[in-house]
Chains A and B, each alone.
Chain A
């Protein structure tokens, strides 16, 4: 039951075309709260045909409703309880900006009800309240928590320690809002990632965004238009204001709502335009990466240019009990009327400080709501038509006043208004709706991510982000409030600039357009002034935080948690910045004497000390702009992580092998019993898939030069048909790998290395060739060839039947290599012996993997050939004391510290790591990797446990296994040099606290002289 993902831009069904039979199809509207017409805006006319459930109670709604408008129309006023105080909260901005409307829908927690379209049968539950959202027992917090000190969760409930776990659990239970569905109702949700590469990405489809799209399309640019609302048009989608002086004459004289529709029609369906609705841009990153979320999809958009036209939201007003249900933002009320045809209330008081607020009052009257009063912060009322209309209608207008408190018993009953300083209350007006129309603040999230913290723009009395990086543009309300004509022109010009890659045009606003008066709120006295409603932070708490020393807006934000809630600062950032400026003495950081007093004395009402604000930046906005689920960030990652498989992988699966991961490789661990597999090798014959090894071929004129400059061994004397082991050292001389070098044919060398580092080897060899300017043919054969190792005393007898060359000890002795054929497949053959038994590496084209493996097993049946896995191989190698670089050695291992000693001559000028190789001998060694054995019957330590000497840690066990061949435990350990001589004893500490004694071996535990290898 998720957001509908239709790709077509969704115009509400009601516009012009009426769904079904029109008015009143289906259920009747019993609450009297539905409108089917309005004098200045078009309202939806679809009938009530959708049934949903709110806390078990059925509710009918229009298909065009959001969950919030449906609940509101049905009389619901309390949507949730706040996170800390459990105060009742109701519809506020009606736009999904804050946390008031977070509900659980169909087991999905924290859904913003004002952002979700209704669907038949939706099951909606309130959160964070018990037993119900109307009667919540936790509301006791409202009385108790103020008694606790500010930031109590940092300071209290740590002691006594024994009680701490109890408090932790209690606080954890009380914290948070929704509950995660652990019963698994939603596990089938599929989250997807999608990539987009438009020429221009426009975030925000209000008048500026639409005009910019129009201009860009006219320039033949590919445009991606993103908007987080359910329809295009931005704030014009419900606005009654008449458009004047627009550059597009077709739009003049229409209401902004109609003009927006016409503008939308003119670009919709254009081949170069893609529209994503209900899509929230959550972040803007370097090089114009926009990340946007649409329900279960995450869009990653790389655009040549990004136009941020995210508009503005209503200014937050801070007064006593400003969080009560019944207090709503002006645009929230206009949305209820214009988008959903819902009457917002019976009696309303409108608080304003600019002309546009009067349009809201007028719109309310048109919806049948009685406007009990308009309260204007300006002393001198504007001489506009609406003021006359209100006077004629006997609506009182109080100038020079603001609201002091919202009086409620769960929902609003009345408001008290009075002077701007909050000292003198003048009257109480009964109402069930208080409309805050006190200006607009830009939605700066994305711009702030692009550039830096927002700064106070003195001229426009808003925060802005200036000097945007190249390729990022801003247009529209986000630059400051403007008329439709102004925003259209700005969007158009920015669209052109972005299309041409030019600098952004300068943003212009004229005096009459700008809302010059800040509401007088932060300054006024009183209690329970909520600054950050999401996190339940009152003005008093914020002031106490500042008094404790957190007077910089960034630290204040983090200490008090303001702006850290679901609104991400969209609602409260301006109020927080103004508070930080107000309550810290001008630049000195000391708190002012008493909130409200000193400022009122120094500033004129409605125009607080601008200088202080100019010194204070708003807190930097950080992604995500809106809450985003972890699922949509993860996408299908878990399902799509790549696995590297050998050519025979599936055959191992069929044979019942268990696997383990070695980086991205899946390797067979064993086919059932590793100890038995070890015995198979020692007693006769076995085969293992070792295709994960790295394999390279180096030829060409400088092949030997490359090898000798990269590897510390000597290879000039390596004859054709012979191979040699070598370590691989880093530029600091440390051991970083090892491998076998084979001189296959004259001038052609073949290198095979252990799996662990061969991906890094690739880039390393490329680097050596590039850097030293060598003329080599370097071919990575790791994918081209698969490889198996056939080993055991019967290996020769078995392979001689299959291979077409002489494998006898005289013709093909230990460490020989060559090319041959098996069953018409060309192979490379290497007689190695890393298991300690006679063994042959067979490398062949990978496409023959399955066929050849089957062939080996078939032909090997009479010889009792069976497969063995990596675990058995590890034990076999351990019995021979072979170490694996990176596992048995750690970073600081010198080659000779691992028992691999060699001289480095002066003529090897270009040898990698040469500067250091000589140093190790000279400085002596602190640690060595040594093989050890345990007494028979001693417990086998796990890998990684420590080695102790008189209570001090002197090393650790790097690999430890039971040896079935020898009947006791063996292993490799990294241990202090003084304990590493053969015959030394040291103590291994087991996890259960016991100690087991080990003895250092002179060489391999098994066949130390390698007799079996050379037979």
Chain B
């Protein structure tokens, strides 16, 4: 059943209001090999602990944001612009 996720704009909402779109990682440059770019598209890393994910608030403000989700603890939501990019 549904848990609650925090949208940076709208606050805590039922998770059904959101669309989950997978892991967020920096995209490999187009000069990388085909294998590297294909792996980026098809394989996500699945591990215990923290992972950055893309979520979309489809039934609310309709904005994309990031969630740092530790599958052992509570998630932390924030805007893309607040992420420190490498």
Contacts and interface: CB of A to CB of B under 8 A. Distances in A.
Task: Give yes or no for direct A-B contact (beta carbon below 8 Å).
Answer: yes
A767 B21 contact: yes
A731 B62 contact: no
A915 B37 contact: yes
Contacts of A6: none
Contact of A766 (B1, B2, B4, B64): B64
Given A285-B2, A286-B3, A770-B80, A731 B41 contact: yes
A767 B41 contact: no
Interface in A725-770: 731-732, 762-763, 766-767, 770
A767 B62 contact: no
A289 B41 contact: no
A298 to B, nearest CB: 13
B29 to A, nearest CB: 8
A760 to B, nearest CB: 9
Nearest to A733: B41
Contact of B1 (A286, A770, A919): A286
Contacts of B34: 915, 919
A607 interface: no
A916 B34 CA distance: 8
Contacts of B1: 283, 285-286, 289, 291
Nearest to A910: B30
A950 to B, nearest CB: 34
Interface in B15-43: 19, 21, 30, 34, 37-38, 41-42
Interface string B45-86: 000000000101010001110000000000000001000000
Interface majority SS (helix, strand, loop, mixed), chain B: mixed
Contacts of B41: 731-732, 915-916
Contacts of B37: 915
A909 interface: yes
A283 B1 CA distance: 10
A251 to B, nearest CB: 38
A771 B24 CA distance: 10
Contacts of A291: 1
A914 B54 CA distance: 21
A287 interface: yes
A213 to B, nearest CB: 24
Size bracket of the B interface: 10 to 19
Contacts of A771: 64, 80
Contacts of B54: 767
Interface string A118-139: 0000000000000000000000
B56 A767 contact: yes
B25 to A, nearest CB: 12
Given A289-B1, A731-B41, A763-B56, A914 B30 contact: yes
Residue in A910, A915, A916 with the greatest tally of chain B CB atoms within 10 Å:
A915
A915 B56 contact: no
Interface string A251-263: 0000000000000
A289 B1 CA distance: 9
B74 to A, nearest CB: 9
A837 to B, nearest CB: 38
Residue in B1, B38, B54, B62 with the greatest tally of chain A CB atoms within 10 Å:
B1
A763 B62 contact: yes
B38 A766 contact: no
B55 to A, nearest CB: 11
Nearest to A283: B1
Given A766-B63, A767-B56, A767-B64, A916 B2 contact: no
A332 to B, nearest CB: 33
Contacts of A731: 41
B42 A732 contact: yes
Contacts of B3: 285-287
A369 B63 CA distance: 71
A732 B1 CA distance: 32
Nearest to A760: B19
A289 B2 contact: yes
B4 A763 contact: no
A915 B38 contact: yes
A28 B69 CA distance: 68
Given A762-B62, A763-B56, A763-B58, A916 B38 contact: yes
Contacts of B42: 732
Nearest to A767: B64
Contacts of B4: 287, 302
A415 B41 CA distance: 73
A172 to B, nearest CB: 31
B38 A763 contact: no
Nearest to B58: A763
B64 A770 contact: yes
Contacts of A732: 41-42
Contacts of A909: 30
Residue in A283, A291, A767 with the greatest tally of chain B CB atoms within 10 Å:
A767
A762 B4 CA distance: 24
Nearest to A732: B41
Nearest to A780: B62
Nearest to A623: B1
Contacts of A767: 21, 54, 56, 64
Nearest to B4: A287
A283 B2 CA distance: 12
Contacts of A910: 30
Contacts of A916: 38, 41
B3 to A, nearest CB: 4
A146 to B, nearest CB: 41
Interface string B1-15: 111100000000000
A509 to B, nearest CB: 32
Given A287-B3, A289-B2, A731-B41, A766 B30 contact: no
A361 B80 CA distance: 70
Contacts of B63: 766, 770
Given A763-B56, A770-B64, A919-B34, 20 more contacts: A283-B1, A285-B1, A285-B2, A286-B1, A289-B1, A291-B1, A762-B62, A763-B58, A763-B62, A766-B62, A766-B64, A767-B54, A767-B56, A767-B64, A770-B80, A909-B30, A910-B30, A915-B30, A915-B38, A915-B41
27 contacts: A283-B1, A285-B2, A285-B3, A286-B2, A287-B2, A287-B4, A289-B1, A289-B2, A291-B1, A763-B58, A763-B62, A766-B56, A766-B62, A766-B63, A767-B21, A767-B54, A770-B63, A770-B64, A770-B80, A909-B30, A910-B30, A915-B30, A915-B34, A915-B37, A915-B41, A916-B38, A919-B34
Interface of A: 283, 285-287, 289, 291, 302, 731-732, 762-763, 766-767, 770-771, 909-910, 914-916, 919
Pairs of residues from A and B, 6 with the lowest C-beta to C-beta distance, nearest first: A915-B37, A285-B1, A286-B3, A287-B4, A909-B30, A287-B3
